[in-house]
């Protein structure tokens, strides 16, 4: 943790900072305990105001008219019948908002309403604002759009051939949005050295977030002409930028407030067309305007898991150690860029952080297709490759006659190391994770030993704790917190972070309460409001606990320092001896000698003026300096391992998940109950991906989403949730606040491969794709090679592979300059950093 203020000669810390370090060493006030969530009571009583709960006087209701064709040029839009309807106040079409937007600076490819082209069934073309929802609905259906059809493309393997007119006028090559190839070390040589080389083609079907709360947004024109937008978004800062850009208003005239989200999972991380549309309507009509999406529309917003076809070629030594890996991925991006460039890099980034892979090559391609856009879903771009890698490891263990758990333990990437692709690993608790689930599940007496039909499988994973770089290039902090103290002992905390159910409000409050020794009830939070709170980049990439935690710690420490100085003087005790706990400030050597926290605030305010301080956090630089090195680096990596026991019915192919043992290396729990909740929630979501969920489209029927409803898009119920045994591994990371790492995403990753591996143990077949549905299990049981999965992988048409020397080869993290090209590169370098 960074420090400030004058430093003492001995420790490099001020006496006040040293006093805090000593206080934390003696035991935590809050950290690691399980106080009730600060927003828990409001959630339970229904008092929480979600975006759709906002009702304002004279409010209008907005509906979007969406494309009912997959790919077409817009010839004309006739809104006259809608405009003529009584109760309709305003109608909008795309020409009123020509400015593009998008989450990544390199993919500014969306319009608030389509102007000349629609790219999927559900793309919004026009909007209506009316006095009530029924009128808006009726008017929306009276809008007539004339289309000139264009050939659609639904399959990436076809999109890559560029046989139809490209969806966009940018990207690497026609419908190839992004093509990447990079190599670290001599992979070909390493594969030749190997005792066993496995090559597998696998497929991970796309799926969606399915938050309980459908997206909603309300906008209002303020009397002074500013616009305020309330939205169910995970990223108010990015929405602020997009709304300001498209409406052509200075950011200071736009206010975005993220309401608590009823679940996000990555699905509310992009700025959305409906948010911009209601803001525009509010300015036009001078009346508040609300939109609440239907469940179908949430499926069209999507930005969920990319379908990924993978080809993985890996060399193994007899003892299971890997010599090298060549990983190829083909992503089905859907109709827009979204986070897709980052998603593509992520399908190749984190393979190296769990096991030692000394040489590594990654080729990745993302294509545009005429379907709702894919983006980040819990695990962003990494569950797909993790499935492939973990299933292939299981195959290797089987081929080499090794125990898959022991083989993993024997090949771990060491802590405090740098991977082949230049990711710096700090703490690394995967070993203890594996040991816990092996012991808890009685793995050694089960694997390979259960009767036919029953089996156990193991898989592991890792995830980032926040991206090392922001989404748009800037040198500013990723997270800021201000703390302001009341004379009465209250603590006001301001931060741009967004509560999406994961508990970020509670983590923020606990970090401040820990340092100041106050109760959570003394803390008032103001969050996720671009007018009043310092920027936090948003609730994505598992960054909030780490980055907000650091910023909160620093802000609270700065407040504590002022209080400690003032109190030390009054109590005539060196400030290094002061402790802050139980709403008191006291001498650790004589606890009777002290004062109420509120009295310390009064003394400090008298001495130093209003107590209002800020803290902030910027991640450390990454050792990787090559083009594309921006995706993957993180201040710390979490680790997870799971053992899953299944019962497979060989007659039906149905897989019954009997029990799950999961261990997660979280560094240090901030709130243990929330950690367990996130682990169980991840397991639950992972199970849905493993056996049920799929974004299915009818490519032969105009590209409609097959099942855009909560009833027919199958996701598990409580009835499908097996008992889960959760083990928390605490190995504090030097880069985490109090040593904490992420828990919101990582524990999802091992679930899908562990199910696949357990099915192999149960009935001896490989299903090399998810979801693993019963028809696929039956197909594998009936197949000669006892396998169900993709049979071929298309040519990704890689022409140039960037070569980066590994640390072992004496590299420095840079790539040699490529030979001079005839024409200058498109764009201005790699602007995409991470997400």
Partner 1 sequence: MMRLPPFRYLAPKNALEVAGILNGEGPDAMIVAGGTDLYPNMKRRHQMPKTLVSLRHVDDLRGVQMNGGVTIGPNETLRSLERNVDLKTRLPALWTAVQSISTPLLRNMGTIGGNICLDTRCNYYNQNFEWRRAINFCMKCEGDTCWVAPSSSVCWAVNSSDTVPVLIALGATVTLVSVDGARTIPIHELFGTDGIEYLTKRKDEVLTRIDIPDQGEAKSVYRKVRRRGAFDFPVAAVAARLTLQGNTVEDVSLVLNAVGPTPVRCEEAEGVLRGNALTDERIAEAAQAAYRPAKPLDNTDYVSMWRKKMIRVEVKRALEGMRG
Binding site for partner 1 (CB under 8 A): 66, 68-69, 121, 133-134, 137, 141, 214, 292, 294, 296, 651-653, 692, 698, 701-702, 704-709, 711-712, 714, 716-720, 773-775, 778
Q: How far apart are CB 769 and partner 1 at their closest, in Å? A: 14
Q: Which is nearer to partner 1, 605 or 658 (CB)?
A: 658
What's the min distance (Å) between Cβ of 202 and partner 1? 20
User: Minimum distance between the CB of residue 68 and partner 1, rounded to whole angstroms?
Assistant: 4
- The dihedral sign for the CA sequence 731, 737, 742, 744: positive
Q: How near is the Cβ of 571 to partner 1 at its closest, in Å?
A: 60
120 versus 553: smaller Cβ distance to partner 1:
120
d(CA 782, CA 765): 9
Other Cβ atoms closer than 10 A to 368: 26
Token pair of 439 as six digits? 């012991």
Min separation Cβ 254 and partner 1, Å = 27
Q: Cβ contacts of residue 787 below 8 Å, gap of 6+?
A: 765, 766, 767, 768, 780
Shortest distance (Å) from residue 300 CB to partner 1: 10
- By the 10 Å C-beta count (0-12 exposed, 13-18 middle, 19+ buried), 279 is classed as buried
Minimum distance, C-beta of residue 578 to partner 1, in the bound complex (Å): 55
68/398 with CB nearer partner 1:
68
Task: State which residue, 607 or 692, has the beta carbon closest to partner 1.
Answer: 692
Task: Evaluate the CA torsion angle 597, 600, 602, 605 in order and state its sign.
Answer: negative
SS3 394: helix
Q: Is 86 exposed, middle or buried (0-12, 13-18, 19+ CB in 10 A)?
A: exposed
Cα 778 from Cα 653, distance rounded (Å): 5
Tell which residue, 445, 154, 135, 446, has the closest CA to residue 307.
154
Nearer to partner 1, 140 or 547 (CB): 140
With left for phi above 0 and alpha for psi between -120 and 50, is residue 582 left, alpha or beta?
left
* Shortest spacing between CB 116 and partner 1, in angstroms: 20
For the bound state, the minimum distance from the C-beta of residue 135 to partner 1, rounded and expressed in Å, comes to 11
Would you say 18 or 214 has its CB closer to partner 1? 214
Closer CB to partner 1, 485 or 778, in the complex: 778
- Helices (H) and strands (E) in the chain — how many of each? 20, 34
Using the minimum distance from each CB to partner 1, give the nearer residue, 116 or 775.
775
- Name the residue nearer to partner 1 (CB basis): 64 or 551: 64
Nearer to partner 1, 588 or 692 (CB): 692
Residue 66 beta carbon to partner 1: minimum distance, rounded to whole angstroms: 6
Give me the least distance between CB of 594 and partner 1, in Å please.
Answer: 55
What is the closest distance, in whole angstroms, from the C-beta atom of residue 826 to partner 1 in the complex? 35
Token couple for 587? 């001498």
- Minimum CB distance to partner 1 smaller for 400 or for 692: 692
Report the nearest approach of partner 1 to the CB of residue 211 (Å).
Answer: 15
- Residue 528, exposed/middle/buried by CB under 10 A (0-12, 13-18, 19+)? buried
Q: Strand order in 216-221's β-sheet?
A: 88-93, 124-130, 60-66, 289-292, 216-221, 227-231, 254-258
- Residue 21: which H helix or E strand, with range? helix 15-25
Question: Residue 513, exposed/middle/buried by CB under 10 A (0-12, 13-18, 19+)?
Answer: buried
Q: How far is the CB of 652 from partner 1 (least distance, A)?
A: 6
Backbone angles phi, psi at 491, to 5 degrees: -125, 115
Triad 110, 111, 112: Cα angle to 5°: 125
Nearer to partner 1, 155 or 720 (CB): 720
Q: Which is nearer to partner 1, 51 or 187 (CB)?
A: 51
Closer by beta carbon to partner 1, 714 or else 803: 714
Sign (positive or negative) of CA dihedral 92, 94, 98, 100: positive
Residue 652 or 801: which CB sits closer to partner 1? 652
- Give the chain's end-to-end CA distance (angstroms, integer): 23
We find the least distance from the C-beta atom of residue 45 to partner 1, in angstroms, to be: 21
Mention every residue, 6+ apart, whose C-beta is less than 8 A from residue 164. 71, 150, 151, 152, 153, 175
Beta carbon of residue 227, minimum distance to partner 1 (angstroms, whole number) = 24
What is the secondary structure of 170-217 as a DSSP string? -SSBTTEEEEEEEEES-HHHHHHH-SEEEEEEEEE-------SSPPEE
Secondary structure (H, E, C), 355-391: ECCCCEEEEEEEECCCCCCCCCCCCCCCHHHHHHHHH
The string of DSSP codes covering 621-647 is PPS--STTTTSS--S-EEEEEEEEEEE
Alpha-carbon dihedral angle through residues 353, 354, 355, 361, given to the nearest 10 degrees: -40
> Which CB, 299 or 362, lies closer to partner 1?
299
Helix (H, G, I), strand (E, B) or coil at 737: helix
By C-alpha distance, which of 636, 741, 642 is closest to 434?
Answer: 642
Residue-level length of the chain: 835
């Amino acid at each position: 943790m960074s420090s400030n203020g004058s430093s003492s000669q001995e420790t490099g810390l001020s006496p006040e900072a040293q006093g805090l370090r000593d206080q934390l060493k003696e035991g935590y006030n809050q950290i690691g305990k399980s106080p009730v969530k600060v927003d828990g009571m409001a959630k339970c009583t229904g008092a929480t105001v979600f975006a759709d709960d906002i009702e304002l006087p004279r409010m209008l209701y907005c509906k979007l008219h969406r494309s009912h064709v997959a790919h077409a040029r817009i010839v004309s839009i006739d809104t006259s019948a809608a405009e003529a309807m009584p109760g309709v106040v305003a109608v909008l079409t795309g020409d009123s908002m020509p400015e593009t937007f998008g989450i990544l600076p390199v993919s500014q490819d969306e319009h608030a309403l389509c102007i000349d082209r629609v790219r999927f069934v559900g793309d919004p073309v026009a909007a209506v604002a009316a006095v009530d929802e029924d009128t808006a609905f009726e008017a929306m259906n009276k809008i007539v759009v004339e289309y000139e059809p264009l050939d659609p493309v639904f399959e990436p393997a076809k999109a890559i051939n560029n046989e139809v007119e490209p969806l966009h006028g940018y990207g690497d090559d026609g419908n190839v949005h992004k093509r990447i190839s990079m190599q670290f070390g001599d992979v070909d040589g390493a594969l030749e050295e190997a005792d066993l080389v496995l090559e597998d083609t696998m497929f991970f079907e796309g799926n969606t977030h399915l938050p309980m709360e459908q997206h909603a947004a309300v906008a209002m024109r303020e009397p002074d002409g500013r616009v305020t937008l309330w939205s169910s978004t995970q990223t108010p800062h990015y929405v602020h930028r997009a709304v300001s850009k498209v409406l052509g208003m200075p950011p200071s005239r736009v206010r975005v407030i993220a309401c608590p989200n009823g679940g996000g999972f990555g699905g509310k991380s992009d700025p959305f067309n409906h948010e911009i549309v209601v803001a525009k309507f509010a300015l036009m009509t001078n009346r508040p305007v609300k939109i609440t999406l239907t469940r179908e529309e949430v499926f069209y917003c999507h930005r969920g898991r990319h379908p990924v076809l993978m080809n993985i070629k890996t060399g193994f030594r007899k003892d299971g150690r890997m010599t090298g890996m060549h990983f190829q991925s083909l992503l089905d991006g859907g109709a827009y860029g979204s986070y897709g460039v980052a998603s593509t890099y992520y399908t190749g980034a984190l393979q190296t952080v769990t096991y030692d892979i000394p040489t590594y090559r990654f080729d990745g391609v993302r294509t545009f297709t005429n379907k709702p856009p894919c983006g980040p879903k819990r695990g962003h771009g990494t569950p797909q490759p993790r499935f492939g890698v973990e299933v292939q490891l299981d195959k290797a263990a089987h081929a080499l006659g090794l125990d898959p758990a022991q083989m993993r333990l024997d090949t771990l990437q060491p802590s405090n190391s740098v991977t082949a692709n230049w990711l710096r690993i700090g703490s690394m608790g995967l070993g203890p994770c594996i040991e816990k689930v092996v012991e808890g599940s009685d793995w050694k007496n089960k694997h390979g030993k259960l009767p036919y039909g029953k089996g156990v499988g193991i898989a592991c994973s890792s995830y980032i704790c926040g991206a090392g770089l922001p989404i748009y290039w800037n040198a500013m902090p990723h997270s800021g917190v201000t703390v302001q103290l009341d004379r009465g002992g209250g603590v006001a905390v301001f931060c741009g972070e967004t509560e999406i159910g994961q508990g970020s409000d509670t983590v923020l409050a606990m970090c401040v309460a820990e340092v100041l020794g106050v109760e959570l009830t003394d803390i008032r939070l103001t969050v996720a409001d671009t007018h009043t709170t310092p920027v936090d980049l948003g609730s994505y990439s598992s960054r909030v606990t780490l980055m907000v935690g650091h910023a909160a710690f620093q802000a609270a420490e700065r407040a504590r320092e002022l209080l400690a100085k003032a109190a030390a003087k009054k109590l005539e005790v060196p400030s290094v001896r002061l402790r802050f706990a139980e709403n008191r400030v006291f001498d650790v050597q004589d606890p009777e000698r002290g004062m109420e926290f509120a009295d310390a605030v009064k003394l400090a305010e008298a001495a130093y003026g209003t107590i209002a301080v800020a803290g902030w956090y910027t991640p450390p630089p990454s050792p990787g300096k090559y083009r594309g090195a921006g995706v993957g680096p993180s201040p710390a990596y979490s680790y997870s391992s799971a053992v899953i026991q299944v019962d497979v019915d060989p007659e039906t192919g149905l897989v019954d998940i009997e029990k799950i043992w999961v261990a997660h290396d979280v560094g240090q729990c901030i709130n243990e109950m929330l950690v367990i909740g996130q682990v169980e929630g991840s397991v639950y979501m992972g199970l849905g991906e493993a056996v049920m969920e799929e974004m299915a489209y009818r490519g032969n029927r105009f590209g409609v989403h097959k099942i855009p409803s909560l009833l027919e898009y199958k996701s598990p119920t409580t009835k499908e949730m097996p008992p889960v045994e959760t083990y928390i591994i605490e190995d504090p990371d030097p880069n985490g606040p109090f040593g904490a790492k992420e828990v919101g995403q990582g524990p999802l990753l091992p679930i899908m491969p562990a199910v696949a591996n357990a099915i192999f143990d149960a009935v001896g077949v490989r299903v090399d794709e998810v979801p693993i549905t019963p028809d696929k299990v039956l197909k594998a049981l009936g197949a000669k090679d006892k396998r169900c999965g993709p049979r071929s992988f298309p040519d990704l048409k890689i022409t140039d592979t960037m070569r980066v020397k590994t640390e072992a080869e004496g590299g420095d993290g840079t790539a040699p300059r490529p030979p001079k090209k005839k024409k200058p590169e498109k764009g201005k370098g790699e602007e995409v950093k991470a997400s």
